[in-house]
Chains A and B, each alone.
Chain A
Amino acid sequence: MRADTEQEILKTELWWTALVIAIVTAIMLAIIYAGVVHHINPPSNIETIDPKTLHLTGEFTESNLGTRVEAGDQVTSRVVATQFAFQPQCIVVPSNRTVTLRFATPDVIHGILVTGTNVNTMIIPGYVSQVHTVFTKTGDLLMPCHEFCGLGHSQMWATVRVVPEDQFRPGPDGRASCDAR
């Protein structure tokens, strides 16, 4: 390391700065590539819903919760997160198909992840959280509440039951539940 003159020091530091810029640029390019090519993006649909009335009308009323096959064979699962339980406690989804998960809460902040997958979102009162995913492994996965929501937070979790596509048999109304199997 030469340090005889200020010029030499400046030159060395500038070389290092160029290397730092190259490293940061490479990281940014990798992130952009993952976002654009592999569609790995955070859940960011700014879609409002009134926490005070979501249980009375609209898609998060009790009878509409759980998994349903909708127009265009789209599998959608709707879950309400409350202090300190999910409704329903178990959702069934087919493997190897795109599934849309939609969450809302009438009370406080919650959040979910599904163990062994990249499914992860906050559930914020006032907003619908939406995640698109493909489950590749079958079996019962844990879906805990991962954000502090009060003293009962530790006891708040649900199950995601991933079944092989040929065993996923929704009823005539398009609905599928964990009990029906």
Chain B
Amino acid sequence: MGERAVTHARRLTLAHLWVAFAAFAVAAVLGVWQMWARSPLPAPYLTAESYFTSVTAHGVSMAYVLTTFMVMGFGYYVAETALGRPLPLPRFAWLGFWLGIIGSAMTAVTIFAGNATVLFTFYPPLTASPFFYIGLVLVVVGSWIWCGLMLWAMLDFKRANPGVPVPLAMFATVANAVLWLWTTVGVAAELLFQIIPAAFGWNESVDVGLSRTLFSWTLHAIVYFWLLPAYIAFYTMAPQAAGGRLYSDTMGRLTFILFLIYSLPVGMHHLFMDPQQSSAFKFLQMSFTALVAAPTLLTVFTISASLEIAGRLRGGKGYFGWIAALPWERPMVLATGMAFFMLWFGGGGGLINMSFGMNAMVHNTSWVTAHFHLIFGGTVVIMYFAIAYAIWPTLTNRLPMSPRLQRLQLWLWFIGMMVMTLPWHYLGLQGQWRRVATFNYSDPIIAGWGPWVIVSLVGGIILLASALLFVWNLLQFHSARAVVATDLRPIYALAVHPPERVPAALNGFALWNVLVLVLMVAAYGYPIAQFFIIDAPEAIVHRVNGRG
């Protein structure tokens, strides 16, 4: 019976991840075309409508479909393999999957019909076809089912194993599920109470200050929802792949708790340049944002220490000799090194973005586009690749002859991302602004940007080559020689000192949910309430459907 259930969860994981990576491949093609459109080179099919249709599809596919399906699929995998138990209620998991599929399809149809050129971040009072938003709501509802199943699986494990610590990979996955439930409250309120009624024509005006504030609630925490699978891989898979051990299990738990707490009351740093919020609350949320640097810096230390253990076990000597001794030929180790490298650039840029007044230099310039492509597209997505390469053998019971093409694919992604985003950072500082289809290169200020835009386009082409090679590599698994499951090495690292017992606070989330509630009331209570107090004037709804 257990055997059947295990097979079932594997099919579930494969289905989710293939949807995620199919959306990713389509979005990668669109992304390169968008960069071509913005460059001085003449691009085919370019109209304002085709460009913003493409940007909307690129954003929705990468930020909502790739991420949500990846997090869900990987979560089911972790729940089954880390807990060593069959996944509870697999029928509900398939229900969540099909809700996500129906929602994604509904959203895709409205986008490609030209009825949703509002980008993935909406911008009310612009409103798209209501079915664009309803499709996205269905994806979110599907992911809420996933959240419930992750909590259920953890509680089931605790009931069956009293006093035994929840394995770190599952603890972190549940942290992400709890984080996602909190995160989606903001956008759900915006969509259900403001945008969808406006899109149906039930409301003729909308309070834009309120909608931006509600969206900001979601806007930063969502990136940690995307990011946590990468961190789960750093803590549990990379040390094992390198042949070492996790330096500290406790620090891992603390890191994921800190992410849960400090990714939420910080979204207003996306509104620094907005006139409807006061400096006081911007400053408060900026301070919390500074604190979210802490779990990342702790991770850099703990994972470096874990890899050092691996390097020394392999004979590395001296201060830096252990780095050369690491098994860089293994995709998980290579991807972790590249992810950390991109994290330094992306994280450094992020510290500038969150710096209150300094944000004025970069807000809505290509600098910001560069920042999130580097940290999400770079650090996070390269770990999605590494996770896929690590778990595909156990999902398919098949193994290709050599990981050579996997390494090539990772190198192409890393190089492409650097070549694309470094010029964007520079252009952003020169004042190149975001979200336009074309630039007027006859203007003397803009003319000088042209060569750098072409360099970044070259980076984009390298990224597209890598994306297609990634899909090819995954397909190779399905036709490779079969191996028996016992050949496959365990993928989760043991800690140097595996925990025998951990305090309740490090084994569950009740306490931390209370803390999140307190912080959210402090950070968002008045900023949301003020719109009902000052009675802000509303804006007239502008519908973009019907190609208007």
Give the distance to chain A from B55, nearest Cβ to Cβ, in Å.
8
Stretch at the interface among B12-20, B80-88, B535-543: B535-543
Q: A17-B298, A108-B542 are in contact. Are A147 and B275 (CB under 8 A)?
A: no
List B contacts of A150 (CB < 8 A): 117, 126, 542, 544
Q: How far is the CA of A147 from the CA of B117 in the complex (A)?
A: 14
Q: Which of B307-338 contact A (CB under 8 A)?
A: 308-309, 312
Q: Which of B48, B212, B358, B439 is within 8 Å of A124, CB to CB?
A: B212
Q: Which residue of B lies closest to A15 (CB)?
A: B301
Q: Which residue of B lies closest to A9 (CB)?
A: B248
B279–A125 CB distance below 8 A = no
Q: A113-B431, A146-B434 are in contact. Are A52 and B537 (CB under 8 A)?
A: yes
**A 18-45 to B, binary, CB cutoff 8 A, 1 in contact else 0:** 0011011001101100110010111111
Give the distance to chain A from B245, nearest Cβ to Cβ, in Å.
8
**A 112-141 to B, binary, CB cutoff 8 A, 1 in contact else 0:** 011110111111111111100000000001
List B contacts of A166 (CB < 8 A): none
Interface size class of A (residues with CB under 8 A): 35 or more
Whether A55 is near chain B, meaning CB under 8 Å from some CB there, is: no
Q: How far is the CA of A42 from the CA of B287 in the complex (A)?
A: 15
A1–B305 CB distance below 8 A = yes
Q: Which residue of A lies closest to B276 (CB)?
A: A127
Q: How many A-B residue pairs have CB under 8 A?
A: 220
Q: Which of B119, B209, B359, B496 is within 8 Å of A42, CB to CB?
A: B359
Whether B218 is near chain A, meaning CB under 8 Å from some CB there, is: no
B365–A146 CB distance below 8 A = yes
Whether A173 is near chain B, meaning CB under 8 Å from some CB there, is: no
A9–B539 CB distance below 8 A = no
Instruction: Known A-B contacts: A122-B273, A128-B275. Give 16 more (CB < 8 A).
Output: A1-B308, A3-B247, A3-B496, A12-B305, A23-B293, A41-B356, A42-B282, A44-B277, A107-B539, A114-B431, A115-B430, A126-B276, A127-B536, A142-B443, A142-B446, A153-B437
List 8 tightest A-B contacts by C-beta distance, closest first: A40-B357, A115-B431, A125-B539, A146-B433, A146-B364, A154-B436, A50-B537, A127-B275
Q: List 25 A-B contacts (CB under 8 A).
A: A3-B496, A13-B250, A13-B298, A24-B291, A34-B358, A42-B282, A48-B536, A50-B537, A107-B539, A108-B123, A113-B431, A114-B431, A118-B360, A124-B212, A124-B276, A126-B538, A126-B539, A130-B275, A141-B445, A146-B364, A147-B435, A150-B126, A151-B544, A152-B48, A154-B437
